């Protein structure tokens, strides 16, 4: 790989989006809420361009994160998060180190503060997938390098970037006026999706069973942002109401990791929330479907997830392009 070719590739990316994401250098990435509208759109633009550049293996590829490393702390298992981060960091020229529950136990054998301080001395980025959001906050508090929230019980910002990228790939860059309908549990994935959607000018319809509503504070923040961006947030407890007028229908697992003992109770209480052809038929013509995976048959039928309306697998691929954009932005190398 010639230095000239790599530099040219890098300049091609920087000329379009560098200014929008320059403010993210050295910062933690904890939730979509922290991003300005321009920063969010800049990360998405960078993600699209990384896909374009790194999908073509016939050309010399830029390695902007050569010599950089990321430690990945996983309290909760994940196929997409691990593979996308390891592969993405490798494409950027850096190194990723996986730390599973048997390698590191946050706050058990060593305090969170000490863990953050030590990893900061070895790595340029710390990515963590945890149960409690408080763990991410404490890691970020004591880490001297940028922290990425790869999932907590309150937020899942990387998933939202992948979702929005998939919608841009399908509908075009400008998503203003589109309507996203969430059908299911008011969980971490919903929290960032609704925040990101209104920042992009989209309306949000939410249907959750009673007792499974979104976090009240995050919902209030989303409604506030929706007013600023001239869009609407509507909540209900009826799936059919949420999908009326929707261009996008989204669901997620009904039983997250750590909730296995609630399986029977949750499946019963989520009756009527399965995304099937009948429910999709109540959305706008041409509506698309998203699910962050892994999925279960009670949540969505094969007829929907494997249909032409499904963006689920491009959405999964986008987990790599978007985490690449976040890591490069944190290092100031976009």
In the 3-class helix/strand/coil scheme, how is the chain assigned residue by residue? CCHHHHHHHHHHHHHHHHHHHHHHCCCCECCHHHCCHHHHHHHHHHHHHHHHHHCCCCCCCCCCCCCCEEEEEECCCCHHHHHHHHHHHHHCCCEEEEECCCCCCECCCECHHHHHHHHHHHCCEEEEECCCHHHHHHHHHHCCCCEEEEECCCCCHHHHHHHHHHHHHHHCCCCCCCEEEEECCCCHHHHHHHHHHHHCCCEEEEECCCCCCCCHHHHHHHHHHHHHCCCCEEEECCHHHHHCCCCEEEECCCCCCCCHHHHHHHHHHCCCCCECHHHHCCCCCCCEEEECCCCCCCCECHHHHCCCCECHHHHHHHHHHHHHHHHHHHCCCC
Annotated active-site residue 231? The verdict is no
Q: What is the separation, in whole angstroms, between the first and last Cα of the chain?
A: 19
Active-site option among 195, 279, 292, 312:
292
Active site residue ranges: 292
């Amino acid at each position: 790989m010639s230095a000239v070719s790599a530099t040219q590739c890098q300049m091609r990316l920087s000329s379009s989006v560098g200014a929008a994401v320059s403010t993210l250098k050295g910062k933690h990435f904890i939730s979509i809420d922290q991003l300005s509208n321009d920063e969010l759109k800049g990360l998405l633009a960078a993600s699209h361009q990384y896909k374009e550049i790194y999908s073509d293996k016939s050309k010399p590829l830029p390695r902007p994160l050569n010599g950089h490393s990321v430690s990945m702390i996983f309290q909760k298992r994940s196929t997409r998060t691990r593979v996308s981060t390891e592969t993405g960091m490798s494409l950027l020229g850096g190194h990723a180190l996986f730390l599973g529950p048997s390698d590191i136990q946050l706050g058990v054998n060593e305090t969170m503060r000490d863990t953050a301080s030590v990893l900061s001395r070895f790595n340029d980025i710390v990515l963590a997938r945890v149960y409690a959001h408080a763990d991410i906050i404490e890691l970020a508090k004591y880490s001297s390098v940028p922290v990425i929230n790869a999932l907590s019980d309150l937020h899942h910002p990387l998933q939202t970037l992948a979702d929005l990228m998939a919608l841009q790939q399908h509908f075009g860059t400008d998503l203003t006026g589109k309507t996203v309908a969430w059908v299911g549990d008011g969980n971490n994935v919903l929290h960032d999706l609704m925040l990101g959607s209104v920042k992009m000018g989209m309306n949000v319809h939410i249907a959750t069973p009673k007792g499974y509503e979104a976090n009240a504070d995050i919902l209030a923040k989303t409604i506030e942002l929706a007013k600023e961006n001239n869009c609407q947030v509507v909540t209900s407890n009826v799936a059919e109401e949420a999908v009326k007028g929707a261009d996008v229908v989204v669901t997620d697992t009904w039983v997250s990791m750590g909730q296995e003992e609630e399986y029977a109770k949750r499946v019963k209480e989520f009756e009527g929330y399965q995304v099937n052809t009948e429910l999709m038929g109540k959305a706008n013509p041409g509506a698309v479907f998203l699910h962050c995976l892994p999925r279960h048959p009670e949540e969505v039928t094969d007829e929907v997830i494997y249909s032409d309306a499904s963006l689920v697998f491009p959405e999964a691929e986008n987990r790599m392009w978007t985490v690449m954009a976040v890591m490069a932005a944190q290092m100031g190398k976009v």
